[in-house]
Amino acid sequence: MRRTPALIVGGGPAGAAAAIVLARARAPHLLVERTRETGDALCGGFLSWQTLRTLAELGIAADTLSPARLSRVRIVAGHRQIEAALPAPAVSVSRHRLDTVMLAHAVATGAAVERGVAVRSIDAREARTADGAPIAADTLFLASGKHDIRGTARPEDARGRDPTLGLRVRLAPSPALTRLVNDAVELHLFRGGYAGIALQEDGSANVCMAVHRSRMQAAGGPAALLRALGDALPHLGERLASWDGSAPDAIANVPYGWRARSTAAGVFRLGDQAAVIPSLAGEGMGIAIASGCSAAAAHLHGGSAERWQPAFARSVAPPMLAAGTLRRLAESRAAPALLPLLRPSLIRISADATRIVRVIA
């Protein structure tokens, strides 16, 4: 049996952030990542001004992720739209680019990383890999993202009666797409869901949607839903004009609003395994990176996972409450009628209210 003082399961933003903090302190650890090559996870890739500050503290400059900045938010409902300036510049980046840069920086900082090691189950602080080999740890950082691992799965009832699905289609770079979206992050609202769009580092865009299962089933499937929305919503339809019709990437049963208020002894739950904020807030990556930094710092200072986990859950409660309220309004039938009542100042306040601004160390 292999043994390590600290085991990080997952090499996404949460795991990489934890590894960077531990490597800087020269604390012994091992990060295992199931993939041999970095993919492009289903994610909007929005990095807020707060998250960019945290990345800078880790030694990762925003320009290494994307040369462009987002300066506006554009909210669209039906035929109506409204814009407001973001509180500060933000970045949209593909998960392939973000994960590649963060994991490479972790290795350069001295992190111990092994790729192609898939953890299939966890019992206490012992991880069993796909080949049956166990890895025991004094402390375990669970950073497996949206993927649950047997023995640590999030509760089924967190998904609700009409669970949310995440859908993503990629739009290739084009002059028309650049003209339409430009330096804005867009939220397109419709009954039962919403879609987010922003240009990434190469000029392409992800159309990332959160939609209730009942709405998708009524449409006849993911691709049929996208076509129907493109026909019914003129602004979204313009963006989807360059969609090649390929099947959307999908992930089922996203437990928006769930927080881990407790944990097993010695197990720090990070990222989506700690808290799942509604995606319209654009703070999923913020939670991932903040939790990785915070948990690793707590570990270095002798803090226990059992004390850190509820403290982190409390710290993310206010932005998650704000995001949940905004989500309910966005998905309601009243959204188009409410849009003209919004003022730029209120949009900026909402943008700030959904940020992770305090990290528990």
Class of domain 2-158+255-353: alpha beta
Strands 164-171 and 134-142: unpaired
Q: What is the structure's pLDDT at 159?
A: 66
For tokens 């089924």, the residue is 156
Lowest mean pLDDT among 4-8, 37-41, 185-189: 37-41
Dihedral class, residue 303 (left if φ above 0, else alpha if ψ from -120 to 50, else beta): beta
For 56, 201, 292, 334, the CA distances from 316, given in Å and listed in that order, are 21, 28, 14, 28
pLDDT at 129 over 60: yes
What is the per-residue pLDDT across 114-125, written as a single tens digit (0 to 9) for each?
A: 999 999 999 989
Give, rounded to a whole angstrom, the gap between the first and last alpha carbons of the chain. Answer: 31
Q: What is the structure's pLDDT at 331?
A: 85
Share of the chain above pLDDT 70, in %: 98
Query: What is the DSSP annotation of 76-103?
Result: EETTEEEEEEEEEEEEE--HHHHHHHHH
Average pLDDT over every residue of 317-328:
93
Type and span of the H or E element at 250: strand 249-254
Enumerate the domain spans of the chain.
Answer: 2-158+255-353
* Euclidean distance between CA atoms 168 and 274, whole angstroms: 23
What is the per-residue pLDDT across 272-289, written as a single tens digit (0 to 9) for each?
A: 999 999 998 999 999 999
Record the pTM: 0.95
Average pLDDT over every residue of 180-205:
94
* Euclidean distance between CA atoms 344 and 324, whole angstroms: 20
* Euclidean distance between CA atoms 115 and 110, whole angstroms: 15
Q: Is the dihedral angle over the CA atoms 312, 144, 55, 188 positive or is it negative?
A: negative
For tokens 């001295």, the residue is 110
* Euclidean distance between CA atoms 288 and 143, whole angstroms: 8
Q: What is the structure's pLDDT at 142?
A: 98
